Copies of this chain bind each other. A is one copy, B any other.
Amino acid sequence: MNTKALTISRKEEILEVSARLFKEKGYASTTMREIAENVGIEAASIYHHFKGKDELLHEICFKVARDYTTKMVNIESTYISPIDKLTTLIRFHIQIVFDNVNGISVTNNEWRHLLEPGLSEFKKARQTYENQLGQIINEGIKLGVLKEVDSTVALYTILSSIRWVEAWYKPEKDIHPNIIENNIIQILMNGLQKAS
């Protein structure tokens, strides 16, 4: 019987524990011994699955980066309006936070500990993503469907609002993800859209 689909591999388990601990204590303050202890193995055993501590961070951050890039490529290839593109991206961006709170948190807060050449690659991917989002905003302004705001400020106001949901969202707080999503969309899009 194939149990691969049902059980989580040790490698994935190490990654999940790492993401949780990196989020709680930060990358630099988390030790290989702590990760091992939380998995239930010895520190040396982690090195059978990963080259080193830096590879753990790399895997976490680049999984998130790939998710964003994939979604952006998909959106870019459609012919929907800038408003719909923006709304879709914001919704996706928020959903990804709920799907992978630890991974997003680590990516937001610990990416600078990535080693080269990963660090440069990560920064480049993020820059590309931000440029593309900026383009959508500029298009919206040019078409007259968005207010004539500074597109850089608009870009980072959107990104900050959604990137940092991770920092305050607590499942026990009893705000449903849908409510968060709808309200952020409402506030940002009302703030940006031109009254018609």
Contact = CB atoms under 8 A, between A and B. Distances in A.
A153 interface: yes
B113 A26 contact: yes
B149 A160 contact: no
A167 interface: yes
A93 interface: no
Judged by DSSP, the binding face of A is helix
Interface size on A, as a range, is: 35 or more
A49 to B, nearest CB: 24
A183 interface: yes
Nearest to A112: B26
Interface in A152-194: 152-154, 156-157, 159-161, 163-165, 167-168, 173, 175, 179-180, 183-184, 186-192
22 contacts: A26-B27, A26-B28, A26-B113, A28-B28, A29-B113, A109-B109, A147-B186, A150-B179, A150-B183, A152-B173, A152-B175, A153-B187, A154-B183, A157-B188, A160-B160, A160-B164, A160-B165, A186-B191, A187-B191, A189-B191, A190-B190, A195-B195
Given A156-B168, A188-B191, 16 more contacts: A26-B28, A109-B109, A147-B190, A149-B183, A149-B187, A150-B175, A150-B180, A150-B183, A154-B187, A156-B164, A156-B165, A157-B183, A163-B164, A164-B164, A190-B191, A195-B195
